[in-house]
Amino acid sequence: MTQFRNPVLPGSHPDPSVCRAGPDYYLVTSTFEYFPGLPIYHSRDLVHWRPAGHVLDRPSQLPLQGVSASGGLYAPTIRHHDGVFYVVCTLVGGTRESGNFVVTATDPEGPWSEPHWLPEAPGFDPSLFFDDDGRAWWTATREVRDGRTEVYLREFDVRSLSLVGEEHVLFRGAMHDAVWAEAPHLYKVDGRYVLLCAEGGTDFEHSVVVAFADEVTGPYRGSKLNPVLTHRHLGRSYPVAATGHADLVCTQHGQWYAVLLATRPYGGYYYNLGRETFLVPVSWENGGPVFSPGTGRLESSYPVPDLLVHPWSEPLQTDDFDAPELDAAWMFLRTPEEEFWSLTERPGHLRLRVRPESITELVTPSVVVRRQQHQNFHASCVLEFEPAGPTEAAGMVLLQNNDNHFRLLLGAGREVTLVRRAGGREEVLGKTQVAEGTVRLGFEAVGQDHQALVASGSGEWQLLGESFDGRVLSTPVAGGFTGVHIGLYATGDGAPSDTWADFDSFTYRALGEAPR
């Protein structure tokens, strides 16, 4: 029997939510401080997913200026009802708007509406549920004190896109003194209301719990089988950890699956890829969900769903920047207020303007990034750049956040420098001179063993400095909620400039890993 491999969306794809519209499945994940926000993925078999745009792809929709690292967009939910798609989400730490909002579209590939902000909706991790009688309900989580939370419910008016009626508190967690009962999703299965939540925080103690009620407003009673999925009892050396934040979907053939997040630690309890999206089969016994029947663990592979297998074209390993727009894999740090990139000023190249903003600040620097998606990888670029001032530099970054990253940059005097920034403190790991003309820069990693590569023109790759440890890029060291992003970057480091950096190509490929 054909198997699929987990994760189905590798790299930083946390907090997945899924819905079905006929034979088509659509999935969204959190994006925090990155723009455009909330990628939409499309599938017909729940295993193969193609990028289908972003929910928030216009600056007017997403005011991320000034948000902190791992601030921004948290835990979206996507639902489809009566020909309309809804996404609800929370913007955390916004310096303009903040809080919960809803956007709608008749085509999930867009355009999506401007956000409708919901000041009457406190908390975070919102979700929508459409009942059989046509009424819609909003659930979300709010903190009461010290990580203790409660899940509440109010009716949602689809015409005014607002909350109406009385509030009902549904759930405060399954465990005694539970923390972070969150990510609530409501379903109706065989006439009974099912409330699925995450619990225990989003790291090692993460779990999935469930409660049931005969009426949508409650009372809800926790299952005797809680938690219905967790890996915290398997130890930190187990290859998959932090399982939780699940959302259920029923196929057109009546089979149930869950998408959920988990991590894949390596080199110890370190997970540079962040929280990834996994798929797990679900059955129902005595009215309750059974995750991964037979094992109770999130497995690395399962039989493919009983759906027509529908793979999409594999993404190209090399982006030659020949397209009129940036590929969907690329993102910016926060919302750009000016266009500092061009694919047309020099066709076949990505041109980045050298601007004063630095990647060490909570700003929008001249950087485009994409997710690291493999533990073993090669990433490299071909760069043409002539610095006009002593602080100007351009090249590549391995980015966890503003205080934890590696920079491999060509600067004044044709000097390439490798810098490690850890906890806000910087150390130069290597320097070398390169000849005039094109330079190639690259990073490679095998597990947590990383190295920086440099080449002049078409010459052979040379190792810059010694191999270095990548654990500083992992969430357990750097904090936050995101995985590593690999970027192309140009900066004047505080000084204005009229210079630009031209990137002829970017290559990303896995090294020595089995296909999914």
Fold of 3-303: Tachylectin-2; Chain A (2.115.10)
Tens of pLDDT, residues 4-22: 999 999 999 999 999 999 9
Euclidean distance between CA atoms 40 and 29, whole angstroms: 8
Cis amide leading into 7 (omega within 30): yes
State in Å, rounded, how far the first CA of the chain is from the last one.
15
Does a cis peptide bond (omega within 30 degrees of 0) precede residue 227? yes
Residue with tokens 């000016």: 338
In angstroms, the CA 118 to CA 485 distance is 31
Q: What is the DSSP letter of 472?
A: G
User: Quick one: 59 exposed, middle or buried, by C-beta within 10 A (0-12, 13-18, 19+)?
Assistant: middle
- 375 φ/ψ angles, rounded to the nearest 5 degrees: -70, -35
Q: What is the pLDDT along the chain (516 residues), one digit of tens a residue?
A: 599 999 999 999 999 999 999 999 999 999 999 999 999 999 999 999 999 999 999 999 999 999 999 999 999 999 999 999 999 999 999 988 999 999 999 999 999 999 999 999 999 999 999 999 999 999 999 999 999 999 999 999 999 999 999 999 999 999 998 999 999 999 999 999 999 999 999 999 999 999 999 999 999 999 999 999 999 999 999 999 999 999 999 999 999 999 999 999 999 999 999 999 999 999 999 999 999 999 999 999 999 999 989 999 888 899 999 999 999 999 999 999 999 999 999 999 999 999 999 999 999 999 999 999 999 999 999 999 999 999 999 999 999 999 999 999 999 999 999 999 999 999 999 999 999 999 999 999 999 999 999 999 989 999 999 999 999 999 999 999 999 999 999 999 999 999 999 999 999 999 986 544
In angstroms, rounded to a whole number, what is the distance separating the alpha carbons of residues 275 and 264? 8
DSSP 315: P
Q: pTM for this structure?
A: 0.97
Distance between CA atoms of residues 351 and 496, nearest Å = 17
The domain spans of the chain are 3-303, 318-510
Q: 15 an active-site residue? A: yes
Q: Give the number of residues written for the chain.
A: 516
Q: Which residues pair with 291 in a beta bridge?
A: 282
Phi-psi region for residue 473, left (φ > 0), alpha (ψ -120 to 50) or beta?
alpha
Q: Catalytic one among 33, 125, 182, 199?
A: 182
Does 182 participate in catalysis according to the annotation? yes
Topology (CATH level 3) of domain 318-510: Jelly Rolls (2.60.120)
At residue 475, the 3 state secondary structure works out as helix
